[in-house]
Amino acid sequence: MDSSADIAILVADECNQKVNTTAEKASNTAEVGWLMMFGIEEKKIESLMRKFEAKSQFAVAVSSGFFSA
């Protein structure tokens, strides 16, 4: 009788470990997904900033005149 109780305890412990590990993986996956999405948005913003970056003194003058008007 004692050995069946030991086996039941071992099985319950293993089940708890698997449940906890699965929950941690799901949380990590969601976090990674969010961070990847944030990173993609950040890259889009950087790309847009590069496109609108002034390349010459003339472009700077036009840009400042355009935005100050």
pLDDT (tens digit, 0 to 9) for every residue of the chain, 69 residues total?
567 777 778 888 887 777 666 656 655 566 666 666 676 677 776 776 676 665 677 777 776 666 655
CA distance 5 to 37: 48
> Burial code of 14-35, b = ≥16 C-beta within 10 A, e = fewer?
eeeeeeeeeeeeeeeeeeeeee
CA distance 47 to 55: 15
Structure confidence at residue 35 (pLDDT): 64
Identify the pLDDT of residue 12.
81
**What is the reported pLDDT for 57?**
75
Q: Which two tokens mark 43?
A: 């890259």
Can you give the pLDDT at residue 31?
63
